[in-house]
Amino acid sequence: MALTLPQLSSEGWSLLDTSLIGLFLVLLLTYLTTHRSKSLPPGPTPIPIFGNLFQLSQQEEWLQFTQWGSIFGELVTFRVFNKPIILLNSSKAIVDLFEARSAIYSNRPHLVMANELMGWGETVVLMPYNERFKNYRKLLKVGLNTNVTREYWPLIEKEIGHSLVRLLDDPDTFTKNFRRTAGTIALKVAYGFKHESDEFKTIMDDTEKALRMFSIAALPGVFLVDTLPFLKYVPSWFPGAGFKRLGIKTQGLIRKMVDTPFDMVKKQVASGNAPKSFTETLLNASERSTDEDIKWVAAGLYAGQADTTVAALSNFFLSMMLFPDIQRRAQDEIDRVIGNNRLPRVEDRESLPYVYSVLKEVLRWRPVVPMVSHSVTQDDIYKGYIIPSGTALVANIWAALHDETIYKDPDVFDPERFLSPRNEPDSSKFAFGFGRRACPGEAVAHAALFCNVACTLATFDIKKPVDEYGVEIEPIMRWSSGVTSLPHAFKCDIKPRSPRAAQLIRTNSESDI
C-alpha cells in the first residue's frame, strides 16, 4: 500500500500559512534588528519584538544604565521594542556629542505622550530644534541677560527671607516650604506677582500637578504610545486608555498655567502698572514677538525652575543631616566672613568658597536630573559607531558625575574636591543642560540655590531626628525615577542655631530687604 501525506482542508492550510508567515516576520524582524545593530554601540541582548523592555529597572534607572556601562562601555544601545536608544555613560561622550556637535544633537526625541497628548510640546524644554525653538532661545536671552538677572537678586533674597520664617515656625513641613519658595520665586521672576493671591496659589498647584506628570512622561519608552504611536487614536473611553484620559487632564492644567498669568501681565502692561518681570520685559521689547511665543517661553521658564529647585534643596538638607562635620565647617566660614548681623546674599558667593562648594557637591552627589535625552537630526559616526538620524540618546548624568577617573571617591560627599589644590571639574554645569539645550535660567536658579543654602546654614542646624528612645532615625536612601529625581521622604530635626539667629530671621523678614 502506497504511503500518502495526510490531506489538509483549505482552512487548515490557511491557519498553517498564517502561522508560518507570522513566524517568518518575527524571525525577519529579529534578523534585521540584529543586522542593523552591528553599526550601533553594543548593549544587552534584546528579545524578539520587545527588545530590552523587560530588562529595564523601574527604580533609579541610572544605576542600571551605569552597570551596563561597566559591561559594554561608555556607549550602550538598548531597545524598547524595535526602537534603539543609545546611552552615554561618560562626561566625555556627553560633551563631545551634546556640546561639540550640538548643531545636530540638539533635537529632542518626539514623545507622543508628553508632546502631543499632554501638551508639553510647545514648551522650550521639549520643542524640537527648529526655527521656533531658536526664536524661543533669543527671547530667553533678552529676558534673562546678565544685567537683567542681577535685578532679580533682591527679589530672591526677600523670598528666601520669608522662607526662613516659615522654616522657623513650622520646620516639619520643610519640603512643602521648598516648593512654595521655589514656585514663588519662579512666578515672580516670570510674571512679577506682587503677593500670594488665591489665583497665585491656584497656578502653583496646577503647575505642580502638571510637572509631576511631565517628570514621568518626558523620558523615552515610559509610555507604550511613544513606541506605538497609533495608540494615540484610541478613544479615551476605551478600556486600557487611561493614558489618554491622563493626557486630557494634563492639557487642561498646562493651558491654565500658560494663559492665566500671561493675560494678567498683558493687562498690567496695557494699563502701565506692570512690575518688573521676564514677561513684562518681552512685552515691552522694541522687537516684540508674538503673544503665543512669549506666553509659552514664560511658562517654560517657570515650569523648568520650580521642580528642580525643590529636588536640589531636598538633597541639600539630606546631605547636611548626614554629614554634620561638613555642615559645621560651612557654618564656620559664614560666621567668619559674614558675621551674625546680616544674612548672606547672592553677591557673597565668591567670598564663601566652601559654602559654594557645598552647593556644587550637592548637585554632583545626587544630580536632580540624572538623565537627559536628546536626539540626532542626521546620520553621524562617533568612535566608529554609526548613529542613525532620529536616534534617541540618553545622557547618564549620574554616571558622568560618579566617574572615579574624574572624581576621587565619587560616592563620598566631599565639597573640598572643588577647592585648591584638588580643583576637580565643576559639576554644576551638568545640572543645567548642554549646548543649545542648556537651561537659559541657570543664572537665576543658581543664585536662588546659593542664597537658600547660605542663609539656611547661617541660621539653622540640621540634624537626624531621634525616636522615643533617643536613637537616631536613619533616612531611606532612595530617589524617585523620572526627569527630576527627588529623595524618598525623610524627616530631620531643624532648629535655629541660637536665639540671635532666630531674631535675625524675624528682623530680616520685617525689614523686607
- Picking from 423, 424, 428, 460, the residue whose alpha carbon sits closest to that of residue 447 is 428
User: What's the confidence (pLDDT) of residue 13?
Assistant: 34
CA–CA gap between residue 483 and residue 143 (Å, rounded):
26
Among residues of the chain, what percentage have pLDDT more than 90?
65
- Picking from 69, 88, 87, the residue whose alpha carbon sits closest to that of residue 77 is 87
Reported as a single tens digit per residue, the pLDDT across 92-151 is 999 999 999 999 999 999 889 999 999 999 988 889 999 999 999 888 888 887 788 888
In the predicted model, is pLDDT for residue 364 greater than 80?
Answer: yes
- Cell numbers for 430, please give them: 551638568
Neighbouring residues of 484: CB distance < 8 A, sequence distance ≥ 6 = 211, 215, 307, 308, 311, 368, 369
Reported as a single tens digit per residue, the pLDDT across 238-251 is 998 999 999 999 99
User: What's the confidence (pLDDT) of residue 292?
Assistant: 93
Give the pLDDT mean for 300-312.
83
CA–CA gap between residue 96 and residue 385 (Å, rounded):
14
User: What's the confidence (pLDDT) of residue 495?
Assistant: 98
Instruction: Please state whether beta strands 83-88 and 392-396 pair in parallel, antiparallel, or not at all (unpaired).
Output: parallel
The helix (H) or strand (E) run that includes residue 16 is helix 10-37
Torsion of CA 208, 360, 345, 420, to 10 degrees: 180
Among 271-275, 374-378, 411-415, which is the least confidently predicted range? 271-275
List domains and CATH numbers for the chain: 39-511 (1.10.630.10)
Taking a C-beta distance cutoff of 8 angstroms, is the pair 189, 301 a contact?
Answer: yes
CA–CA gap between residue 153 and residue 147 (Å, rounded):
11
HEC string for 234-265: CCCCCCCCHHHHHHHHHHHHHHHHHHHHHHHH
Q: Is 439 annotated in some ligand binding site?
A: yes
Instruction: Please report which confidence band the pLDDT of residue 300 belongs to, taking 50, 70 and 90 as the band edges.
Output: confident
In the predicted model, is pLDDT for residue 156 greater than 50?
Answer: yes
Among 247-251, 299-303, 379-383, which is the least confidently predicted range? 299-303
Reported as a single tens digit per residue, the pLDDT across 254-274 is 998 899 999 999 999 999 999
Reported as a single tens digit per residue, the pLDDT across 19-59 is 444 445 544 555 444 444 458 999 999 999 899 989 998 88
User: What's the confidence (pLDDT) of residue 333?
Assistant: 99
Residue 284, SS3? Answer: coil
Residue 346, SS3? Answer: helix
Sign of CA dihedral 431, 433, 438, 441: negative
Taking a C-beta distance cutoff of 8 angstroms, is the pair 191, 152 a contact?
Answer: no
Residues present in the chain in total: 513
Among residues of the chain, what percentage have pLDDT more than 70?
91
- From first CA to last CA, the distance across the chain in angstroms is 108
